[in-house]
Chain A
Amino acid sequence: MNRSINIKINGKSYSDVVEDRLLLVNYIRDVAGLTGTHMGCDTGHCGACTIVMNGEAVKSCLILAVQAEGASVETVEGMASETGLHPLQVSFRKNFAVQCGFCTAGILMSALALLRNNPEPNSEDISKALTGNICRCEGYPNIVKAIEEASLVMKAAKDLGREPRGKENEKEG
């Protein structure tokens, strides 16, 4: 069967008629055209397809698009703004936390959800939050370091009452 759905992705509303069996990851990639979200294992084990849905990190390959009707979704494309990259993105680049980059979008989404719930995580909190994200080439120490550093940058910016992003922030990297 086909069904019409409304989903908000990165603040923009999308309305489409989709097949019931379409997975959310395929909706995001093939219908909405946002290919930053990756499909790795296709069976819920790798975390490459992680997005933030209604504030929580979830695997978009384990959700039907029709289940997400009415939901608000964030993907990696929504992280940077006109004023620059998100501090997590800046920190990943600076700390060489990306090698091939296949896992990166999913890891950034897990990190984004983590920092919202726990703005000052220690390295153990970070490792725990990344249990469901598998990186097969970079290795985790730089990723953990990058998230830890981004949390400090974001906290410092918040303490100064500034938006934690921007060109200035990017140049530091």
Chain B
Amino acid sequence: MYTLTPPKFDYKRASSVEEACKLLAATDGTKVIAGGQSLLVAMRLRLASPAVLVDIGHISGLGNISEEGMGLNIGATCTHSKLARSKEVMERFPILCEAAARVGDEQVRNRGTIGGSISHADPAGNYAPVLTALNAKIALVSASNRRTIAASNFFEGPYTTVLNGDELVEKVILEKKPSSGTREGHSFMKFSTMPQEFATVNVASIVAIKDGKFEEVTVALGALLPKPRIMAELGESLMGKAASAENIRQASQELHLGSEIISDYKASAQYRTHIAKVLVARSLLTAVNRATGAE
């Protein structure tokens, strides 16, 4: 039977982060494999031909979710399924569970990891807008260095991040601000041609409401731009206004997306712009309803 076989490589299974870092530094052309859900496809299509693959999927503890103060640390090899089902994450950052549950299909979610997803940096990936909106930090490690970088600076463009060849994503760090008497609501929405497909447009909305008015509005759009973008103007225009469906609709209609909108076989730039306006309005309304307990 004809099958697409990946190009030849040497497989190494790391048993610790230190060992993985050493292996990454040792040979040029070494790449990490976590869940393999993106990399194995890329290799079979000859879009990637690493000489050495370092498997980090068996490093014990690297996929853990742990509490840190009011925040959470999510280990790089935490699978989408584990994230989607996590009670701790659901309590503090429900938008992340929502995004994890909308990655691909059950089988992909059972293998694919958050670290792999953000390192792969498909512009239509689910986590980029969510982590940007949450102001998450990403901890990177190499044999010689450690650094922490804001999600908004981590993504550089399609399939491009700040990761150096010898660096590894170790964890995603989420900090929680103490609540100031406001009520928070989150919403992630993905519009795609089929439920399991990558997004045509996706959006992460986080709102805080006090006395029926917007105290905070963060909307990050993904999939239609080369990298996730916080819609700052939209946020400013809603701040202090009544959290009403009419105000949300109006602000969404005025969304300015600039000239970088992706146009491809899935959707033209014009269609994506239309979907973005509809999706932003829907997700903001959902976030508001969740904040006010209407949902």
Contacts and interface: CB of A to CB of B under 8 A. Distances in A.
Nearest to B10: A1
B24 interface: no
Nearest to A50: B107
Given A26-B3, A63-B36, A44 B10 contact: no
A59 B35 CA distance: 11
Interface stretch (B37-45, B91-99, B154-162, B205-213): B37-45
A25 B40 CA distance: 13
Find the residue from A47, A66, A129, A131 having the highest chain B CB count within 10 A: A131
Nearest to A47: B107
Contacts of A79: none
B107 A66 contact: no
Interface string B246-265: 00000000000000000000
B6 interface: yes
A29 B196 CA distance: 26
B110 A62 contact: no
B106 A110 contact: yes
A64 B8 CA distance: 12
A39 B106 contact: no
A126 B161 CA distance: 37
A67 B33 CA distance: 10
Contact of B3 (A23, A113, A131): A23
Contacts of A16: none
Nearest to B11: A20
Interface string A47-66: 10010000011110111101
Interface in B1-40: 1, 3-11, 13, 33, 35-37, 40
B57 interface: yes
Given A59-B107, A64-B36, A110-B106, A43 B4 contact: yes
Given A62-B41, A64-B11, A67-B57, A110 B107 contact: yes
B55 A131 contact: no
A41 to B, nearest CB: 10
A42 B106 contact: no
Given A21-B5, A62-B36, A131 B105 contact: yes
Contacts of A39: 1, 3
Interface in B220-271: none
Nearest to A132: B105
A12 interface: no
Interface of A: 1, 3, 19-23, 25-26, 29, 39, 42-44, 47, 50, 56-59, 61-64, 66-67, 69, 110, 113, 128-129, 131-133
Given A42-B3, A50-B107, 17 more contacts: A1-B10, A19-B8, A20-B9, A21-B8, A21-B9, A23-B40, A26-B5, A29-B1, A39-B1, A47-B105, A57-B107, A64-B33, A66-B13, A67-B55, A69-B13, A128-B106, A129-B106
